[in-house]
Amino acid sequence: MNDMHKASEALREATKVVFFTGAGISAESGIPTFRDKLTGLWEKYDPQRLETADAFRENPALVWGWYLWRRHQVSQAKPNTAHYAVSHLASTGLRIAVVTQNIDDLHERAGSKDVVHLHGSLAQPKCFACHRSAELTPEQAAVSDEVVLVEPPRCKRCNGRLRPGVVWFKEDLPVGAWKAAMSVVKDCDVLISVGTSGVVMPAADIPEIALAAGAIVIHVNLMDVALGGTNELMLIGNAAEVLPTLFGSIGIPEA
């Protein structure tokens, strides 16, 4: 029996399913993954050098400009078939939880509820000094195609600079998010890991934590990312095609 058949069997028997998603699930929506080369205005920048507190201290206008551009990119994007397949599965009575590393809101816009964002969200900037959450006015959220440098707005409470409400390298994950993730990952029958390279800790530990708790882990990726465990299945392909095929195999029509 091949891994798709085994994955169907596992899903048929499951009552609690967790989706653990990475940038690959949003790729079909036109959002570049973290390992994709950047294009246009940002072609000469390396994302991994823009996504640190030090980079923000050094050049707040560049880092803020980068995140404003990404926020704009996400606002122009639409959820893809994979996001809809995830939210549609919840309507079949299965207990579904979504734990994502992504900072876009495509799961929510596809109808998924209570999404756990391990690495924060583009939608929720906060003050770099006092950490108070902030809402941007339409003018503050506006981006232009010409400039990369945008001075961040100031916090209404302490006048500190606003920063993106995301987790940067070397920063801790939001405590509430990690706890919420652990409570569903340790209690699920099946964890479906979709579109993640599994390189950034501690999120990358999640499939192993699920395996250790007795779950079956189904990886969905363009390449083989399986860890070699016994209860792991590897479905190689585009998430936007693999997920509808997998759910169709257990009688769940496409969203």
Instruction: Return residues touching ligand APR (CB under 6 A).
Output: 22-24, 27-28, 33-35, 101, 119, 195-197, 199-200, 220-223, 225, 238-239
Binding-site residue set for Zn(2+): 127, 130, 155, 158
Considering the complex, what minimum distance in angstroms separates the CB of residue 95 from ligand APR? 24
Q: Which is nearer to ligand APR, 96 or 234 (CB)?
A: 234
> How many other CB atoms sit within 10 Å of the CB of residue 182?
15
Considering the complex, what minimum distance in angstroms separates the CB of residue 169 from ligand APR? 8
Q: Which is nearer to ligand APR, 135 or 169 (CB)?
A: 169
Round to whole Å and give the CA distance between 63 and 52: 9
Token pair of 238, please?
A: 């585009």
Catalytic-labelled residue, pool 88, 117, 119, 219: 119
If DSSP codes are grouped into helix, strand and coil, which group holds residue 60? helix
Active site residue 5: no
Rounded alpha-carbon distances, angstroms, from residue 72 to 69, 131, 227: 5, 23, 35
For the sheet containing 116-117, what is the strand order? Answer: 116-117, 95-100, 16-21, 190-194, 216-221, 232-236
Binding-site residue set for NAD(+): 101-104, 195-197, 221-223, 239
Binding-site residue set for substrate: 67, 70
Q: Which residues are known catalytic residues?
A: 119
